[in-house]
Amino acid sequence: MTKSQAQPVDVRYGHECQLALSVDSDRLVARREPPDQLDSLDQSIRDALAAPLDFPPLAQAVIPGDHVVIALDTDTPAADTILAAIWDVLSARDVDPGDVLVLQPRCTGPGQPNDPRSELPVDIRDQVRWQIHDPDQTEGGHYLATSSSGERVYLAAELIEADLVIPVGPVVFDSVLGYRGTHSVLYPGLSNSESIARAVGRGHRELDPNDQRPLRQLIDDVGWLLGVQFCVQVVPAGATGVAGVWAGLPESVFREARESLEAAWRVEIDERSDIVVASIESDGGGHGWEQVGRALEMARNLVTREGRILLLTDLDETPGDGLKLLQNADAPTEALSPLKSLAPSDLVSATQCVEATDWARVYLLSQLDNDLVEDLFITPLENPDEVGRLLSQPGQCLIVENAQHAYGRVRVVE
């Protein structure tokens, strides 16, 4: 009998952390690495702006005096580089920097996003306005129109009054929408608090991303009602990198970016794995519980019942209100009813945590207090060496890096 060979695997996680793992080759089902980053991101963005999909170059879409709103998704990798490239086009068309607004939805987690204007020329950096939308203010809800489904749509006044709105963000898998991207930065995040509350959902783990979702259809309707005809979208690579960038007509951009996303980040295996190692690097949206929830959902879809999920993170973020409900429960599923009724801002990530801990044994490498982690029905890992100990136990193993971007599915045999 041939003895199995140990296969070394270097896995990146957290804020530039790396862990050397060793797994027997006959136990390693697959290792999914992130896609390669673009060799020259800045040039790729400028090329996309100069030759958009099914739309004239951006330079032909603006004139001096235009008021331009760049609706920027808070999870956008390399947002500062993208914004600098867009500004160069606007500047060449004599658009005044005071007529440009970078508008972002309010974060659902703690803290604020980084200032995306850091790569703009110093002399105009403060002239280009940067604003975090407040959905609780009256201005957060100006009436736009009624959607085809009969929904009254309210949006930030800045969007409605703009001459040109450019949505900028990532195309990624999303448990509620199927796919985030294009118009999803506009609604409900740049609407009013009532619209945001109505849109809060628990996700649909049983659906494939390609399945129709009513909210996704409403979002696309909102983009059409607002008259958005140009957007810039990216597919993330590892950490804060970008694997692809597209500009142009939203429908065309979404189609191309979605194909790239599927090739890069869909993980499919023939049968569930006993161990799923899911690493999370700090990305365009940070390094918090939202990223952990997405990684847990991916791993939950691929691990066996009572199997082991090993999360490699550098997490040091206080749990939100939804996760605190889980802390106070006697069993994970006891938190589902109050989560549904209260609908906290971290409803999705809290639900993802509930479903994963109810299905499998979850282990977390982080900077969090051990007692806090245990209250979430998760076993804390004291140090990276414990990961190797768990990997040495019997069972098939799957390794997915930057798992917060991946969608996991077991192939259906017909």
Count of CA atoms in the C-beta half-sphere (13 A) of 134: 5
What pLDDT is attached to residue 139? 63
What pLDDT is attached to residue 263? 97
Four-way CATH pick for 6-32+270-410: 3.60.20.10, 3.60.10.10, 1.10.3720.10, 3.90.226.30: 3.90.226.30
Q: Is 266 exposed, middle or buried (0-12, 13-18, 19+ CB in 10 A)?
A: middle
Q: Residue 299's closest CA among 371, 258, 336, 352?
A: 352
Ranges in the chain, pLDDT < 70: 1-4, 109, 111, 138-140, 202, 413-414
What pLDDT is attached to residue 3? 53
Scan for tokens 């550098």, then name that residue. Answer: 314
**Residue 181, by phi and psi: left (phi above 0), alpha (psi -120 to 50) or beta?**
left
Task: Give me the residue spans of the domains in the chain.
Answer: 6-32+270-410, 41-262
Contact 319, 376 (CB under 8 A): yes
Instruction: Spell out a b/e string for 346-364, using b for 16 or more CB atoms within 10 Å of the CB, else e.
Output: bbbbbbbbbbbbbbbbbbb
Confirm whether pTM is higher than 0.85.
yes
What pLDDT is attached to residue 83? 97
- 6-32+270-410 and 41-262 have identical folds: no
Contacts 24+ apart (CB under 8 A), 149-153: 149/214, 149/217, 149/218, 149/221, 151/218, 153/187, 153/191, 153/195, 153/221, 153/222, 153/225
| 41-262: in CATH 1.10.3720.10 | no
> C-alpha angle 293/296/298, rounded to 5°?
115
- List pLDDT tens digits, range 72-129: 999 999 999 999 999 999 999 999 999 999 999 988 767 678 899 999 999 999 999 9
Question: Which token pair is 26?
Answer: 């006959």
What pLDDT is attached to residue 1? 38
User: Phi/psi of residue 281, each to 5°?
Assistant: -95, 155
Question: Which token pair is 111?
Answer: 């803290």
